[in-house]
């Protein structure tokens, strides 16, 4: 089929401000231009500075690709998973052992989930180190924290419970006990919320529908705000006055946007391949059927640091740990609001960041070598 | 240091508020059923804690718009129960909350499994454990092929990223040379 030539599109930049050669670099051509003329896809693009096309500034994009992979593999898994408590564990065993490529797809799904939490955390660290949460991006920092919380406590946690083995059952019991402490706020997680359906199918609905919807809304808000504010300046640019109001002028946003997308896609493929390989070599075990009289497991390793608080303070420790951690992070842009962005000029934040990071690592290792402890009867 | 002091003050405020609220809400009563799924007529073991000392605690199934009593258990002075009950034979299959109505109520999930329609277990017996699937055993060669495919995928991803960056660096270098200094030409190198 012959493609009609693209219509010429008006450019938003005033003629003469930027030399014409810049338009040619990123202007769509061929089939892409044909599609763009009809669908307006270029409205999604935004100006990027050259430093945006580096690994550290692509971590958010890699996380986005990972979430897309989770959605795709999740659709496949949903064709075989049965959320009825009497059949759930058996259906996971079916996926792992009989469904075509079930072990491979499940491995990609599970390990991509862990890796996405890792890339999101590294993205958070990059934003913290470069002080990108400062004016005017304070609210986008909070939206990002909401995304991390939804991924960790919404998706990874509920995904663990769906396995419906001993660890899943204990995780759910811990969650219900913690939710009870929240009173009406935690009502969704109580068995008394409804007697017409068990909590496992309701968690499945949350895992496959409610939380993804929340993630989509937060992602749209996050990406819209990135487009609105532009990619944040480097600390050096901000501290030398090249980014008035925290925004880089157009003249400094000479990066190539398609490069930004290709880097996301390239590193995203590496993420999927890594998840698939780990899943093959180190498959996620499916434990024995739940025995409610036992408490013999530990949570997934990404929750080890919270489990330490539970060891010390019982079930409320989970709440204190999570609320304390995310509360601390929410406050960061409102406490560190000065103009300096270089980490060297923010010693208090640098010390605090290192302490929190080391504490999470130390607690995770400590729990990793400790035997499981009983908490539900504390 | 002023920012640290502000942070510490806010944290102390938040911690004191949440600790107070949590302590007011935490009670610790609990109940468990073993097994957590059984057919009508089966015997189940119900254990509970912190339900109030020396009292008769009604235990019931709640669900499907019904409340079905299983019986009553007497708590120890410490508020614990450890009793066996039979699941009534006329309970419809489905998901229920098993509630022990002590000083404060404690709930746990319980599933009444459907009776087999032909053959299988007799009335009053827990359904025999469904046979678990034999573990999938992929030959080493198949695992090697899959790992190689993932390796190629990762290699392709890295190639795309690297090639894109090199090409862009060249283009941006060319642009920087063509741009006048006032338009940021000197600052465009990454």
Does domain A48-293 fall into CATH 3.20.20.70?
Answer: no
Instruction: Say which residue the tokens 């013999």 belong to.
Output: A296
pLDDT in tens, A343-354: 999 999 999 999
- The pLDDT value recorded for residue A192 is 72
Q: Report CB contact under 8 Å: A181, B3.
A: no
Closest partner CB to B133 (pick from A94, A177, A335): A94
Least confident of A21-30, B27-36, B135-144: A21-30
The share of chain A scoring above pLDDT 90, in percent, equals 57
Q: Summarize the confidence of residues A305-315 as an average pLDDT.
A: 87
Which contiguous run of DSSP H or E holds residue B46?
strand B43-49
The share of chain A scoring above pLDDT 70, in percent, equals 92
Residues of A in contact with B24 (CB under 8 A): none
- The pLDDT value recorded for residue A4 is 45
Domain boundaries, chain A: 48-293
**Residue of chain A whose Cα is closest to the Cα of B160:** A266
Closest approach of chain B CAs to the CA of A262, in angstroms? 6
In the predicted structure, residue A376 carries a pLDDT above the cut 90:
no
Q: Report CB contact under 8 Å: B30, A94.
A: no
Q: Report CB contact under 8 Å: A50, B179.
A: no
Alpha helices (H) along A3-101: 21-26, 30-39, 59-78, 88-97
More confidently predicted of A39 and A11: A39
Closest approach of chain A CAs to the CA of B87, in angstroms? 16
Q: Report CB contact under 8 Å: B157, A268.
A: yes
pLDDT in tens, A194-246: 777 888 999 999 999 999 999 999 999 999 999 999 999 999 999 998 989 88
pTM confidence score: 0.75
Report d(CA A294, CA A170) in Å as an integer: 8
**Residue of chain A whose Cα is closest to the Cα of B63:** A195
How distant is the alpha carbon of residue A163 from its chain centre? Answer: 21
More confidently predicted of A213 and A256: A213
Closest partner CB to A254 (pick from B1, B11, B184): B184
Residues of A in contact with B32 (CB under 8 A): 292-293
Q: Report CB contact under 8 Å: A97, B134.
A: yes
Q: Which of A154, A193, A178 is nearest to A170 (CA)?
A: A178
Instruction: Say which residue the tokens 């419809």 belong to.
Output: B92
Structure tokens at B2: 């002023």
Residues of A in contact with B158 (CB under 8 A): 266, 270
Instruction: Say which residue the tokens 């299988």 belong to.
Output: B120
More confidently predicted of A298 and A110: A110
Closest partner CB to A270 (pick from B154, B164, B178): B154
Which site among B92, B162, B164 would you substitute to test the A interface, given the most A Cβ atoms closer than 10 Å to its Cβ?
B164
- The pLDDT value recorded for residue B13 is 53
Closest partner CB to A50 (pick from B96, B157, B172): B172
**Residue of chain A whose Cα is closest to the Cα of B29:** A377
Cα dist from A335 to A84, A329, B14, B128, whole Å: 47, 10, 15, 60
Give the pLDDT band (50/70/90) at residue B115. low
* DSSP letter for each residue of B61-89: EEETTEEEEEEEEEPPTTS-EEEEEEPPT
pLDDT in tens, B159-186: 988 887 777 767 666 665 665 554 443 3
Give the pLDDT band (50/70/90) at residue B5. low
More confidently predicted of A312 and A8: A312
Q: Report CB contact under 8 Å: A266, B132.
A: no
Which site among B91, B121, B151, B175 would you substitute to test the A interface, given the most A Cβ atoms closer than 10 Å to its Cβ?
B175
Report d(CA A189, CA A170) in Å as an integer: 14
Residue B82 β-bridge partners: B47
Q: Summarize the confidence of residues A161-172 as an average pLDDT.
A: 92
Most confident of A32-46, A108-122, B1-15, B46-60: A108-122
Q: Summarize the confidence of residues B89-118 as an average pLDDT.
A: 79
- The pLDDT value recorded for residue B172 is 64
Q: Report CB contact under 8 Å: B7, A328.
A: yes
**Highest CATH level, class, for B28-112:** mainly beta
Closest partner CB to B136 (pick from A22, A103, A180): A103
Sheet of strand B43-49: strand arrangement: B30-34, B43-49, B81-86
Residues of B in contact with A265 (CB under 8 A): 157, 160
Report d(CA A152, CA A136) in Å as an integer: 26
Q: Please, what is the average pLDDT of chain A?
A: 87
Give the pLDDT band (50/70/90) at residue A336. very high
In the predicted structure, residue B22 carries a pLDDT above the cut 60:
no
- The pLDDT value recorded for residue A146 is 97
- The pLDDT value recorded for residue B60 is 92
pLDDT in tens, A66-90: 999 999 999 999 999 999 888 899 8
Most confident of A12-21, A359-368, B95-104: A359-368
Domain boundaries, chain B: 28-112, 140-187
Which site among A315, A335, A375 would you substitute to test the B interface, given the most B Cβ atoms closer than 10 Å to its Cβ?
A335
- The pLDDT value recorded for residue A138 is 96
- The pLDDT value recorded for residue B12 is 57
Give the pLDDT band (50/70/90) at residue B41. confident
Q: Report CB contact under 8 Å: A280, B147.
A: yes
In the predicted structure, residue B188 carries a pLDDT above the cut 50:
no
């Amino acid at each position: 089929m012959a493609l009609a030539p693209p219509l010429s599109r008006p450019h938003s930049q005033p003629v003469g401000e930027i030399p014409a050669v810049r338009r040619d670099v990123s202007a769509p051509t061929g089939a892409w231009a044909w599609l763009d003329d009809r669908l307006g896809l270029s409205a999604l693009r935004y100006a990027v500075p050259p430093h945006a096309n580096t690994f550290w500034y692509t971590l958010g994009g890699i996380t986005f690709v990972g979430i897309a992979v989770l959605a795709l593999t999740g659709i496949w898994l949903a064709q075989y998973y049965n959320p009825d408590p009497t059949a759930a564990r058996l259906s996971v065993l079916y996926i792992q052992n009989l469904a075509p490529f079930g072990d491979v797809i499940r491995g990609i799904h599970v390990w991509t989930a862990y890796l996405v939490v890792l890339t999101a955390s590294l993205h958070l660290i990059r934003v913290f180190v470069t002080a990108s949460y400062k004016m005017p991006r304070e609210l986008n920092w909070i939206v990002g924290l909401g995304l991390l919380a939804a991924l960790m406590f919404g998706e990874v946690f509920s995904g663990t419970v769906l396995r419906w083995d001993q660890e899943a059952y204990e995780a759910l019991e811990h969650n219900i006990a913690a939710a009870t402490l929240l009173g009406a706020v935690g009502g969704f997680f109580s068995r008394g919320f409804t007697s017409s359906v068990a909590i496992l199918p309701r968690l499945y609905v949350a895992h496959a529908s409610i939380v993804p919807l929340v993630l989509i809304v937060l992602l749209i808000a996050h990406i819209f705000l990135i487009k609105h504010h532009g990619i944040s300046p480097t600390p050096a640019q901000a501290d030398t006055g090249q980014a008035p109001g925290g925004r880089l002028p157009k003249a400094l946003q000479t990066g190539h946007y398609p490069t930004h997308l290709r880097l996301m896609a390239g590193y995203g493929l590496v993420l999927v391949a890594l998840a698939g390989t780990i899943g093959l070599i180190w498959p996620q075990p499916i434990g024995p059927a739940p025995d409610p009289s036992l408490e013999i497991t530990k949570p997934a390793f990404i929750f080890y640091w919270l489990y330490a608080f539970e060891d010390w303070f019982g079930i409320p420790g989970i709440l204190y740990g999570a609320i304390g951690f995310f509360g601390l992070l929410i406050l960061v842009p409102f406490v560190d609001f000065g103009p300096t962005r270089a980490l060297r000029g923010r010693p208090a934040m640098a010390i605090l960041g290192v302490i929190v990071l080391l504490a999470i690592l130390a607690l995770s290792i400590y729990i990793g070598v400790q035997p499981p402890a009983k908490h539900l009867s504390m | 240091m002023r920012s640290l002091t502000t942070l510490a003050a806010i944290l102390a405020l938040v911690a004191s508020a949440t600790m107070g609220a949590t302590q007011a809400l935490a009670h610790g009563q609990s109940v468990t059923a073993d097994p957590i799924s059984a057919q009508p007529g089966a015997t189940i073991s119900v254990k509970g804690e912190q339900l109030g000392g020396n009292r008769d605690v009604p235990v019931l199934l709640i669900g499907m718009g019904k409340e079905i009593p299983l019986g009553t258990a007497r708590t120890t002075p410490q508020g614990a129960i450890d009793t066996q009950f039979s699941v009534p034979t006329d309970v419809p299959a489905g998901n229920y909350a098993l509630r022990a109505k002590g000083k404060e109520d404690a709930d746990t999930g319980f599933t009444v499994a459907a009776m087999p329609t032909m053959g299988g277990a007799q009335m009053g017996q827990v359904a025999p454990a469904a046979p678990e699937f034999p573990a999938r055993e992929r030959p080493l060669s198949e695992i090697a092929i899959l790992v190689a495919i993932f390796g190629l995928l990762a290699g392709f991803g890295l190639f795309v990223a690297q090639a894109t960056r090199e090409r862009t660096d060249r283009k941006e270098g060319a642009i920087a040379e063509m741009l006048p200094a006032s338009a940021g030409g000197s600052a465009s190198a990454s």
